[in-house]
Structure 1
Amino acid sequence: MLTGLNQRLNGSGDATASVPNGVNLPLKSGEELQEVETILQEQSSMQMMVRYFSNIGGASLKSMTKRIMKDTLQNSLAVQFNWTGAKTKIAFGSLKLCSVVCRAVKRNFPESSSHYTEFFIKDWLCNASDRNGGRKKRMKGANNDSEHVE
């Protein structure tokens, strides 16, 4: 029981886990994402990424999922995604990278449903525009607009 808890908090414990050659996280551009998707065509690269993400760990399914996403996508790229690709955004749910994230979380939380992991990914992507001062900037703009209403 303690081993399982320690594994969840500190990751899978695979100290040698690393990302495949050519992968630099967090991803900053669509071009980098395309390169990673190409690299993940290889099963061995996909397994390396799952092991790497499993090491990120987290006290809960939610915290692990969000920690992985934070380490995977820079916020400036994350704002270009949603789960399905609606409203001119890119569909994260159809990427191999998404599959890697879900498999890594499942590795540390084997009893979990992929539905919950997907929910936390969707939530993280949905809130991307609020991070790094985005919400404050939007609220400031809304306040300025209301001052000009007569």
Structure 2
Amino acid sequence: MADKRFLITEFHNGSVEVVPREWVNKKMKKVQWPRDLTNTKMEKAIRNSIIPNEDWETFSLTRILGASDSFGRAKKKADMAIYTSSISDSDDDGDGKRKRKIRRRLLTEDSSSEEERPSIVVPEEQSSRPCVPEFPSVECQAGKPVEVQGEREQQDDTAKVESSRLPGRDISLQILKSIEALKHEILLLRKQVSSLEQRSSSSSQSDEPGVARKTSFPVCGEEELASFNEELTNPAIMASVVKELSSVGGMNAQKLIANMLKKCLANSLAQKYSCCGRKGKKNFSSHLLFQAILRATKIAFTQATDLEVQAAVSKFLAGAKDREGGRQERRLSKIVQI
């Protein structure tokens, strides 16, 4: 058994599983076990004998039932160990000193099939071995004291604690924690939507009398845009426009910026601009309206950066020629030319 690659082990809770030799300590009493892996990933980890990590859990082993150099043969022996007391053959080693007891495996492909498997009953007259008591017998060896009742109860309690911390239970707890986190996020989103709705309903009215702007949305011409740019030099009007734009709404910063630009600029005017004035177009970032959109975006999405806002504005203005039937019109013109 000393040179075999895979060991067939029995856990304290009666589970039987194939584990790589690297996962078991030198005394063959403890095994390291990875956290939060599916059955498929767990079997792959065992087959490849991956190196244990520091965050793996440690469980106690009752005994080593056998060993094999082949994962397939070891897995077959582990399945056999659920029903029979002998799993050794000419190729694999095993102690063969187990009472007949059905055990569940940690890794199962179909739990329903295991429940339907019949129990193996051995007639008393065919067994020449004495009945095995429920509690393990106390072996008195030379130089070692007899185990007292208190120590035995302490070991049983330790086995129960380790059984409750097996990988299947950890996965269930992780799923429950994820569900609770999702519920919390949904609650926060509902509060944000409610806040946006309240700001949207109040943004239609100006905060202070006497600062109402002359320009209305959408801005259709360059002269109108220049006039609006002059109006935005007034801090009160700028603050009013920023508040109005921040309440337009959008699932993310890019959607919000697109909705704000649709509200502020007519498509015919948007086609004449790019964010930084490239490809012979006019520079939109030089207008104060761009600064208003930048501030409004950071109010609604505090983690948005200047570069992200600039990229979203560039993308919207670049696609202006395809809106309002522009793309279809270009396709038709190409067909006519052909």
Per the normalisation by structure 1, the TM-score is 0.87
**1:14-61, CA deviations, whole angstroms, 9 ceiling, x for partnerless residues?**
633247420210000001101110001111111111000011111111
Q: Tell me if 1:17 matches 2:203.
A: yes
Higher strand share: 2
User: Aligned partners of 2:278, 2:251: CA distance in 1, in Å?
Assistant: 32
Report the 3-state secondary structure (helix = DSSP H, G, I; strand = E; otherwise coil) of the residue aligned with 2:199.
coil
User: Aligned partners of 1:60, 1:121: CA distance in 2, in Å?
Assistant: 14
User: Aligned partners of 2:238, 2:288: CA distance in 1, in Å?
Assistant: 8
Q: Return structure 1 stretches of 4+ with deviation > 4 angstroms.
A: none
Q: Tell me if 1:140 matches 2:338.
A: no
Higher helix share: 1
Q: Tell me if 1:45 matches 2:237.
A: yes
Kept after mapping to 2: 8 A contact 1:26/1:74: yes
Q: Tell me if 1:3 matches 2:195.
A: no
In structure 2, relative to structure 1, the CA distance for the partners of 1:12 and 1:60 (3 Å cut) is farther
Report the 3-state secondary structure (helix = DSSP H, G, I; strand = E; otherwise coil) of the residue aligned with 2:201.
coil
Kept after mapping to 1: 8 A contact 2:200/2:248: no
2:201 corresponds to which letter in structure 1?
A
Please tell me whether Structure 1 or Structure 2 has the larger radius of gyration of its CA atoms.
2
Q: Please, which runs of 5 or more residues in structure 2 have no aligned partner?
A: 1-187, 207-211
Q: Tell me if 1:66 matches 2:252.
A: no
Per the normalisation by structure 2, the TM-score is 0.40
Kept after mapping to 1: 8 A contact 2:218/2:263: yes
**Which residue number corresponds to residue 26 of structure 1?**
218
1:63 corresponds to which letter in structure 2?
K
User: Aligned partners of 1:95, 1:3: CA distance in 2, in Å?
Assistant: 34
Report the 3-state secondary structure (helix = DSSP H, G, I; strand = E; otherwise coil) of the residue aligned with 1:15.
helix
Task: Tell me the matched-pair count.
Answer: 144
Q: Tell me if 1:124 matches 2:310.
A: no
Kept after mapping to 2: 8 A contact 1:102/1:114: yes
Give, in angstroms, the shift of residue 13 of structure 1.
Answer: 1.7
Kept after mapping to 2: 8 A contact 1:12/1:51: no
User: Aligned partners of 1:67, 1:12: CA distance in 2, in Å?
Assistant: 18
Kept after mapping to 1: 8 A contact 2:254/2:312: yes
Kept after mapping to 2: 8 A contact 1:11/1:58: no
Q: Please, which runs of 5 or more residues in structure 1 have no aligned partner?
A: none
